[in-house]
Chains A and B, each alone.
Chain A
Amino acid sequence: MPAHLADKRLVFVTGKGGVGKSTVAIALGIAAARRGLRTVVAELSGQARAAETFGIAAPAAEEVRLTECLHATSIGVDEALEEYLHERAGRVGDLLAASRAFHAFTAATPGMRELMTIGKAWELSQDPRRISGRRPYDLVVVDAFATGHALGALRTPATFAQIARVGPIAHQGRTIDASLGDPAHTAVVAVALPEEMPVTETLALRRGLREAIGQEPAAVVVNACLPERFGPRQARTIADALASTGDGLAQAALRTALSEHARARAQREQAARLAEGSGTAPVELPYVFAEAIGPAELGELADRLEVLL
């Protein structure tokens, strides 16, 4: 089933550590911006990889423009809190943001950082924006936390709604949670590698996400797929060739090609397991052999992700 991400407002990209979440988030942002969607890639924990890749300085919490339609921002918890208080209570909110009481409260309340982070991602996806003077976006792509932490973070609005019961935080929590559970507004993209552990974790994410926000991943992306250069018959021919030659360089090349072939085949099995268990056909991204992933490589990955829009 097509993911139709272009019709959503808020897309969380998550996956096990080291699977290339940030790369996929940025490439997805590029693909959306090419379509003419006013897009922002939102990163967390002070990261600003999107802006760095484009060679643009990104001061904390500011929304910077990278290309005509593509923007980037790094969500800062403190800034998000100040914005929230200002929006809710104006000058009084500013006063509160500067007070010791409030800092003690936010530092002491477990989950507050996650709540504010998710809340800010949600605010970016609102039309009109809650922050006056900011233009709305067609699509917000969040380079979200790694799987385990992401599930906890996505659950925080509902948790706060439940424990605060009444009052503004409870209300805000309920509003955000409703958006997260609304497939017309929010989607989650799960990124995996075609390896045993990441595939297992991605399949577990499906259930965890249903429990957290009542949605399944709208799309699954398999990153870093090695090329399939040979069929099984050719692989046998190459193995025979390896046995027959005495030339050192030829041996090294044949050995390396066979080793890559073995890894590619193991990847195919895992990709098939993922496709079977995830209920949606995963989009495969090729292994990038370049030394570093720059705008050119991201552009190529964006080509592959267009089907998700």
Chain B
Amino acid sequence: MSGVADWLDGARVCVVGGSGGVGKTTSSAALAAGMAARGLKVAVVTIDPAQRLATALGLDELGNEPQRIEAERFAAAGLPLGDGELWAMTLDPKRTFDELIARLSPDDDTRERILANRVYRELSDAIAGSQEFTAVAKLHELAQEGRWDLLVLDTPPSRNALDFLDAPDRLRAFFEGRALQALLRGGGAGLRLIGRGSGLALGLLKRVTGAELLSDLSDFFRLLGGLLGGFRTRAAEVEALLRAPGTTFLLVTSPEREPIDEALYFQRRLRSAGMALGGAVVNRVHVDELAGEDARLAGLPALLERETGLSAAPARQVAAAFADEHALACRDAANVAHLRERLGTGVPLACVALLDEDVHDVDGLVRLGARLFA
């Protein structure tokens, strides 16, 4: 078995999910590089305002369109890409959202008025699910272009690792904004109330929020109404891409309990949404070197002094380090066993041993990749 390469056999899109801080971005990049080394044209898409992927690839910055990474960088680190190509981009959610609005707008006037609307300008970052949606929408756009054999999406960091699964729905509901539109009629000029019951509520609402915010919102939703048809089509295409046979999901987690619980929750959600989980990667696993000889731990300092000639103090320190790391290895093994059991036999699992240095450059990505593809 050649690890993740088998899991990705035939895949055209790989969505990498997991909670924050588990090595999702580096795993995505290592995965993409490894597949490129197998002769594929691969693009990795990440949302990464801190430009960490760019830093890891030795670049100052990655833009909102895929950029080809020089093969020499990887060849020098011992991973020749051969005929394969590695491309990378850092998604700019705001810009991608602006582009989406521009593309869906029925005319220039509508586009300009939405982009200039204060609610949109100041708060589009905060529209629920917009980051996640733009990520998948970008993925869809790249898939349409057909220039790559495999697209790897490093999903946005969010407390709930699978917000992007709900994103099309949430954003669709937002675009429709029906409840609010029903209450607010007319544009920025003023608010006309419909219905007697809602009139009272709206009057109160105006008192609490101030009229300007309401009229800006009203204006915003009226403008968005013109984009609704196009948006619905786009959302349906994006959802279809997530469910397509060539799309697979990979989970990345660390061996700690909380991210593992989140990964399992993710699996349940994927299953209920009818989407395919291709495999799970557990990063930074402490490896147990004690091999069942727990009973000999107590005598270890004496053994070290006798066998290696170390003096008493360092021998004790070595034994203490070994005991501490052994405890972590046991904890990790128990958590991984729990994950394996709950994932079931159908889902392949790869454990990546903790590296002595953290991964922040091409060499590190190649080392990580070697373990993923082992």
Contact = CB atoms under 8 A, between A and B. Distances in A.
Interface of A: 16-19, 45, 85, 88-89, 92-93, 95-96, 99-105, 107-111, 113-114, 145-146, 148-149, 152, 156, 159-160, 162-170, 193, 195-198, 200-201, 204, 229-230, 234, 237-238, 241-242, 244-245, 247-250, 252-257, 259-263, 266, 289-292
Given A105-B180, A247-B303, A166 B157 contact: no
A168 to B, nearest CB: 5
Contacts of B212: 163-167
Contacts of B310: 237-238, 241
Contacts of B324: 260, 289
17 contacts: A85-B208, A100-B198, A102-B201, A104-B182, A145-B159, A146-B157, A159-B122, A163-B122, A169-B210, A170-B210, A196-B360, A201-B50, A229-B317, A229-B318, A252-B322, A262-B356, A266-B358
Interface in B249-288: 254, 257, 259
Contacts of A165: 210, 212-213
Contacts of B360: 196-197
B209 A252 contact: no
Of A159, A200, A257, chain B has the most CB atoms within 10 Å of the CB of A257
B210 A168 contact: yes
Interface stretch (B32-40, B230-238, B325-333): B325-333
B209 A164 contact: yes
Given A167-B211, A167-B213, A92 B318 contact: no
B201 A245 contact: no
A110 B127 contact: yes
B139 interface: no
A162 B174 CA distance: 23
Given A17-B157, A167-B207, 9 more contacts: A18-B19, A18-B259, A99-B204, A108-B180, A156-B126, A164-B213, A230-B317, A250-B303, A255-B289
B293 A249 contact: yes
Nearest to B304: A250
Contact of B314 (A196, A234, A250, A263): A234
Contact of A168 (B209, B307, B331): B209
Interface string B193-229: 0000010011011011111111011000100000000
A80 to B, nearest CB: 14
A238 B123 contact: no
B205 A96 contact: yes
Contacts of A45: 159
Of A85, A164, A253, chain B has the most CB atoms within 10 Å of the CB of A253
